[in-house]
């Protein structure tokens, strides 16, 4: 186990059990800042499209464009931001990513208050907010392993994943409540203030721990990050598995909307409730993974959890076919959410601990491109399949295909790695082998 833990901070009793992550002042500050940023992000993701409908009386296409504008920067800028994290202060990246979003929302609020907000301005604002979000998302993932050691990093990632789950549950409801009770302008101002609070928290992080990992002249290139992901077998297998799972899960979410309304006769509210139960499962799963994740057989836990997550969604059409009460359909989403949270916590920990520190940002960005890039493809494929085959057939096809694709890690040597030290050794071995083959050694 000692090979997986970085040198403890000065004054730490090496023989004592590791302190909980929230007792580390720097990580506690990161977590509080992330909580504020994630809360504001979820409110914004739901609130900006809501403004198109309620304030601008826009069309469905315009609603979709504003939603997409917040997502496109993930694909456009992640690789670039990943290289910045090696040659720039992580504290500066986190402060900028949150302060910029706050300023843009203050501007949207001012325009809304003076009846000068138009769709084009809102669309540009959504794109700018999405661009700044890339800074926070990659910066926070690179920052966490600078503040916590191996075992505590698993617990810390569990807390960060739990934050995401809670804000995903509460964000849409909070956005609707604020817009309805305070109006569009004040909703933008309140959300902007949350982002600014996150920026202020990030500004107090220790500068020494978050200084650039390398000199500007030695910073890794985008190509170096992509090459490492491809050559390192554990990272590559996790990346492919995550991309396939996200593609199928987004396809399932699209198909289930059609299936729920047209086949099961559910209302939009009931569909939202059933799917939303997955966030409850994710909260539980992330907290459990944070507590016991460091004691699990790492490869086995990754392999089993992603398969259980797939089986949870396969359970949904099975329960529906058996005539189960509507609310019980949520059991499948709860299982999916809990198991997927365990997988995510452990996969993020591997991705943070295995690459060389100087490549961490570039590797994180490359991984996110693959994982997020499959989402719109999955949504499109799900919609087309529902039209061609019908909703009932489509929901079964996607669920079965997801379950089959979740077995990928069973063919990976990663499943035999019990600890992070073994994953690192596997990554080093496969990386050297790839280089030897490439150079003809």
User: Are 349 and 157 within 8 A, CB to CB?
Assistant: yes
Q: Please compute the mean of the pLDDT values over residues 138-165 and round it to a whole number.
A: 86
Predicted TM-score (pTM) of the model is: 0.75
Helix axes 360-389, 330-353, angle to 10 degrees: 150
The Cα 441–Cα 432 span in angstroms is 11
Please list, in sequence order, all residues whose beta carbon lies within 8 angstroms of the beta carbon of residue 75, skipping any fewer than 6 positions away: 369, 372, 373
The Cα 407–Cα 402 span in angstroms is 9
User: Are 293 and 158 within 8 A, CB to CB?
Assistant: yes
User: What confidence score (pLDDT) does residue 12 get?
Assistant: 41
Coil, strand or helix: which one is 148? coil
30-88: per-residue pLDDT in tens? 999 999 999 999 888 878 887 887 888 887 678 878 877 887 888 888 888 888 887 88
User: Are 95 and 88 within 8 A, CB to CB?
Assistant: no
Place of tokens 């504290």: 91
Q: Please compute the mean of the pLDDT values over residues 250-277 and round it to a whole number.
A: 80
The Cα 117–Cα 189 span in angstroms is 14
User: What confidence score (pLDDT) does residue 217 get?
Assistant: 54
Structure tokens, 251: 């396809």
CATH 1.20.1250.20 in the chain: give the residue spans: 20-206, 222-439
- pLDDT reading at 441 higher than 50: no
User: What confidence score (pLDDT) does residue 439 get?
Assistant: 46
Please list, in sequence order, all residues whose beta carbon lies within 8 angstroms of the beta carbon of residue 379, skipping any fewer than 6 positions away: 250, 251, 253, 254
The Cα 28–Cα 269 span in angstroms is 36
* Architecture of the 222-439 domain: Up-down Bundle (1.20)
Lowest mean pLDDT among 21-35, 161-175, 389-403: 161-175
Alpha helices of 148-232 — where are they, by DSSP H?
150-182, 184-202, 222-231
Q: Please compute the mean of the pLDDT values over residues 295-315 and round it to a whole number.
A: 92
How does residue 7 score in pLDDT terms, banded at 50, 70 and 90? very low
Q: Which CATH superfamily is domain 20-206 in?
A: MFS general substrate transporter like domains (1.20.1250.20)
Q: Please compute the mean of the pLDDT values over residues 10-14 and round it to a whole number.
A: 41
Place of tokens 């800028």: 77
192-232: per-residue pLDDT in tens? 999 999 999 999 999 887 887 665 555 566 777 788 888 88
Q: What's CA 299's distance to the chain center, in Å?
A: 21
User: Are 374 and 75 within 8 A, CB to CB?
Assistant: no
Structure tokens, 105: 């929302």
End-to-end CA distance of the chain: 34
User: What confidence score (pLDDT) does residue 3 get?
Assistant: 35
Coil, strand or helix: which one is 419? coil
Mean pLDDT of the chain: 83
Provide the percentage of residues in the chain whose pLDDT is more than 70. Answer: 88
Q: Which of the listed ranges 96-100, 138-142, 234-238 does the model predict with the highest average pLDDT? A: 96-100
- Longest distance between any two alpha carbons in the chain, whole Å: 68
User: Are 147 and 34 within 8 A, CB to CB?
Assistant: no
- pLDDT reading at 360 higher than 90: no
User: What confidence score (pLDDT) does residue 211 get?
Assistant: 80
């Amino acid at each position: 186990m000692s090979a997986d833990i970085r040198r403890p901070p000065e004054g730490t009793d090496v023989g004592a059990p590791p302190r909980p992550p929230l007792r580390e002042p720097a990580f506690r500050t990161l977590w509080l800042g992330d909580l504020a940023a994630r809360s504001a992000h979820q409110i914004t993701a739901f609130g900006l499209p809501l403004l198109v409908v309620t304030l601008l009386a826009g069309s469905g296409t315009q609603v979709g464009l504003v939603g997409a504008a917040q997502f496109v920067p993930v694909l456009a800028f992640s690789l670039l931001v990943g290289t910045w994290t090696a040659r720039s202060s992580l504290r500066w990246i986190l402060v900028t990513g949150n302060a910029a979003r706050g300023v843009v929302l203050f501007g949207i609020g001012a325009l809304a208050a003076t009846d000068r907000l138009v769709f084009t301005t809102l669309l540009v604002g959504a794109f700018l907010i999405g661009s700044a979000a890339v800074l926070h998302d990659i910066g926070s993932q690179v920052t966490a392993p600078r503040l916590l050691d191996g075992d505590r990093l698993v617990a810390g990632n569990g807390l960060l994943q739990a934050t995401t789950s809670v804000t995903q549950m509460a964000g849409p409801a909070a956005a609707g409540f604020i817009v309805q009770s305070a109006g569009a302008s004040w909703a933008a101002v309140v959300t902007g203030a949350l982002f600014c609070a996150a920026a202020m928290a990030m500004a107090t992080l220790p500068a020494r721990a978050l200084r650039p990992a390398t000199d500007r002249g030695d910073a890794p290139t985008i190509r170096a990050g992509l090459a490492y992901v491809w050559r390192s077998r554990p990272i590559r297998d996790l990346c492919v598995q995550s991309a396939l799972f996200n593609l199928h899960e987004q396809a399932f979410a699209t198909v289930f909307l059609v299936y729920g309304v047209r086949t099961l006769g559910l209302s939009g509210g009931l569909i939202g409730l059933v799917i939303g139960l997955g966030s409850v499962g994710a909260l539980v799963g992330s907290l459990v993974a944070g507590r016991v994740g460091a004691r699990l057989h790492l490869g086995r836990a990754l392999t089993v959890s992603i398969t259980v997550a797939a089986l949870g969604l396969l359970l949904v059409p099975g329960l529906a076919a058996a005539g189960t009460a509507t609310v019980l359909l949520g059991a499948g989403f709860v299982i999916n959410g809990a198991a997927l949270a365990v997988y995510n916590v452990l996969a993020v920990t591997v991705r943070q601990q295995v690459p060389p520190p100087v490549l961490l940002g570039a590797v994180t960005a490359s991984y996110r491109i693959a994982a997020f890039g499959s989402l719109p493809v999955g949504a499109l494929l799900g919609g087309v399949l529902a039209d061609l085959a019908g909703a009932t057939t489509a929901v079964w096809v996607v669920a079965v295909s997801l379950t089959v694709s979740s077995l990928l890690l069973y063919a990976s040597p990663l499943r035999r790695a019990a600890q992070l030290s073994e994953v690192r050794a596997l990554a080093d071995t496969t990386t050297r082998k790839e280089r030897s083959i490439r150079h003809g050694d």
